[in-house]
Amino acid sequence: MADMSSRSRFKASAVVDLSSRSRFKVHEEVDAVVSASLPTLSHRSQLHYVNACLLETMRIRTLVPIATHATAKDVMVNLHSLHMDPAYWTDPDWFDLGRFLDAEGNVINKPQSFMPFGGGRRVCLGELVARMELFLFLSTLLQSFTFRTPEGAPPPNTDGIIRLTVKPHLFQLCAIRR
Ligand code: HEM
């Protein structure tokens, strides 16, 4: 698992398709750890690729790009720029699960320059719930389906529509039962 580097990296425009090698690894891990049961939170510490997928997705498309605080002065915290800072993230436009896996293949939960839920006293109140839900949602979907864009369909536009949060452009996706 330690060699999740160049071969499993792919441009953000291919996020949905995942590279075949990464997709195989994620599915292989879910099958090995969860087997025939449904994923539960007790599997969380063992599903390293699933966790790395979630973290890298939250990095490359920061859901809340700007956090605004009204204190004695108005303060804007640019979380997007933290997540795309080349001083901390090599080739930040590339989706790379290896960023969140250490040499033993364990998840790096709190790397530098990574704050998808903000920080300090105004940190997201829903962080724990959101992390649990995202894990259960993604691992359950990956257990049952492979996702691909339909034959001949344009690749998804992954720029995102920026409002208070970033939401995706419409795209077509096939969920193929495994
Ligand atoms: C992937 C999901 C989520 C992300 C990435 C996210 C991210 C954020 C961020 C960046 C902030 C601003 C933090 C700051 O100002 O420094 C925030 C604030 C907040 N979030 Fe979330 N959030 C998520 C889900 C949720 C959920 C599910 C809930 C509720 C159950 C929630 C409730 C809140 C609340 C109440 C605040 C305001 C906290 C305050 O100003 O004191 N969030 N969130």
Give the pLDDT mean for 122-127.
95
- Residue 124 counted as an annotated binding residue: yes
pLDDT value, residue 42:
97
Inform me whether the pLDDT recorded for 10 exceeds 80.
no
Q: Is 1.10.630.10 the CATH classification of the domain at 6-177?
A: yes
User: Which residue ranges make up each domain of the chain?
Assistant: 6-177
Using alpha carbons only, give the angle 75, 76, 80 rounded to the nearest 5 degrees. 160
| Ligand 1 first shell, C-beta below 6 A | 63-64, 67, 69, 77, 79, 116-119, 122-126, 129-130
The strand ranges marked E within the chain are 10-11, 66-70, 74-78, 94-95, 145-148, 161-162, 166-167, 174-177
Q: What is the reported pTM? A: 0.89
Q: What percent of the chain has pLDDT over 70?
A: 88
